[in-house]
Amino acid sequence: MNIPVRPPEGENRRAWPADVDAAVPYWVYTDPAIYAEELQKIWYAPHWLYVGLECELAEVGDWKTTTLGEKPCVMVRSGEDEISVVENRCAHKGVKFCQTRTGHSKELICPYHQWSYALNGDLQGVPFRRGVKRQGGMPSDFDPKDHSLNKLRVEVVNGVVWATFSDETPPFREYLGEKFWKHYTRVYDGRKLEVLGYNRQHIPANWKQMQENIKDPYHAGLLHVFFATFGLFRADQKSAVDIDDEGRHGILISRKGEQEKTEAMADIRNFQGDLVLEDPRVMDVVQEFPGEETVGMITIFPSVILQQQVNSLTTRQIVPKGPGGFDFHWTHWCYADDTPEMRLRRTRQANLFGPAGFVSADDGEVLEMTQQGAAGSPDEHFILQMGGREIAPTDHQVTETAVRGMYRYWRKVMGL
């Protein structure tokens, strides 16, 4: 039995499986109308979106371009202690005026008719506004104040810049909730951050799949033979899944074990017990955060994954590109006071992540394969029964609870 979630007739006829929390129809990945609604109800709605790291803008006038939802935006250091995020779309005719990834300027100028904006987005200059030789010019009711760039609300939280299109978004800390504030500040603890470098890839899969992937600890020790083999993430290790009260954010917590054959291995077909690294420096891991956990993978809905996997720290920004794909922007970072050895260690461990990562490449591949399977059967559904049907934190990783949580929240905001 399916439950209609749209008028039963007509183009948008859609149904949700009766097993509401533990089944999801594939059209959530493929339907252009659903995708268009997601942009409005999720990306441009009361949610905080990841923009970048504060340390990417050292001086007043430094800026960096990015995309939030599908809208090009610029993050600018508009004052000593002020970061602005504005839409990268000229108020005159829509030109995306900043074209490079980064830049520095005293004001933002559109190349088309040279309108100029202050760093905070205020319109300052309109050439020939008063005409030339009393000819032309803007009408007398033209008020520059009505034509600033669209300004987003911004919060800079322990080195990370967040922005939202909505006036109704609660303060960032409230948006996370107290539990996730704790998870967040475990790594983003107020120390200064520094960029180590970037990786960018386009993954031909629906953007939600990326959120699901990092809310799904079930796959980590199975798909990722590298993880399982070297004990970085495995079903029999002490671990936990936490989700916020809304079900939208998640964290996978685990601790590293050894390369050993255990009972759980019987279910891991590809475990490579005899695999040795010729040069194990890539696995030279040090414990740097309080507690015994070595992994904390946070998904902040909808836009980002905050990765702490051993000593590799990254933000992975999701930029949706239609129902069938998203751009994935990785910022690998370190603490500004890290020793050269620590920086080298983090750089080395990056071999596990990104588009060529021993681990992460698996994810990109399997997400693409999922999209391929889903695309032809939008009205079939996938199941999320691992760990039961509950949506609650667990102290193990044999569960899809956080994925169920996300879809319950998703249905709520989508009104489905």
Partner 1 sequence: MIIARDEIRDLYDAYYGVLDDVDLHAWPDFFTEDCLYRVIPRENHEAGYTLCTMQAESRGMLKDRVTGLTRTQMYAPRYYRRFPTAPRVTAQDEASVSVRHNLLVVQTLVDKQSDIILSAVCHDRIVRDGDRLRFVERVVVFDSEMIPNSLVYPA
Residues that bind partner 1 (CB under 8 A): 101, 195-204, 223-226, 229, 270, 272, 275, 277-279, 281-282, 327, 332, 347-348, 350-351, 354-356, 358, 361-362, 364-366, 368-369
Give the tokens for residue 127: 């050439």
Cβ proximity to Fe ion, 122 vs 363, nearer residue: 363
Give the tokens for residue 60: 């007043």
- Given phi > 0 = left and psi -120 to 50 = alpha, else beta, which region is 341? alpha
112 binds, among Fe ion, ligand FES, partner 1, none (CB under 5 to 8 A by kind): ligand FES
Q: Which of 163, 363, 406, 413 binds Fe ion (CB under 5 A)?
A: 363
229 binds, among partner 1, Fe ion, ligand FES, none (CB under 5 to 8 A by kind): partner 1
What is the closest distance, in whole angstroms, from the C-beta atom of residue 221 to Fe ion in the complex? Answer: 10
Q: How many CB atoms lie within 10 A of CB 80?
A: 7
Task: Tell me if residue 408 falls in helix, strand or coil.
Answer: helix
Task: Tell me if residue 203 falls in helix, strand or coil.
Answer: strand
First to last CA, the chain: 16
8 Å CB contact between 240 and 394: yes
Cβ proximity to partner 1, 168 vs 279, nearer residue: 279
CA–CA separation, 383 and 367 (whole Å): 16
Cβ proximity to partner 1, 254 vs 312, nearer residue: 312
Residue-wise DSSP of 165-183: S-S-PPPHHHHH-HHHHHH
What is the closest distance, in whole angstroms, from the C-beta atom of residue 115 to ligand FES in the complex? Answer: 4
- Residue 170, amino acid: P
**Which residues are within 8 A (CB) of 171 and not within 5 positions of it... i.e. 6 or more apart?**
155
110 binds, among partner 1, Fe ion, ligand FES, none (CB under 5 to 8 A by kind): ligand FES
Give the tokens for residue 271: 């475990």
396 binds, among Fe ion, partner 1, ligand FES, none (CB under 5 to 8 A by kind): none
Element (H, E) at 60: none
Task: Note the residues at the interface with ligand FES (CB under 6 A).
Answer: 90, 92-93, 95, 110, 112-113, 115
What is the closest distance, in whole angstroms, from the C-beta atom of residue 88 to partner 1 in the complex? Answer: 16
Nearest position to Fe ion, beta carbon? 363
**243 to 302, contacts with Fe ion by CB under 5 A?**
none
What is the closest distance, in whole angstroms, from the C-beta atom of residue 93 to ligand FES in the complex? Answer: 4
188 binds, among partner 1, Fe ion, ligand FES, none (CB under 5 to 8 A by kind): none
Partner residues linked to 252 by β-bridges: 241, 297
What is the closest distance, in whole angstroms, from the C-beta atom of residue 136 to ligand FES in the complex? Answer: 14
How big is the CA angle at 402 (ends 184 and 199), to the nearest 5 degrees?
A: 55
Give the tokens for residue 257: 């074990």
Cβ proximity to Fe ion, 38 vs 362, nearer residue: 362
Check residue 216 for interaction with Fe ion (CB under 5 A): no
Query: Would you tell me which residues interact with Fe ion (CB under 5 A)?
Result: 363
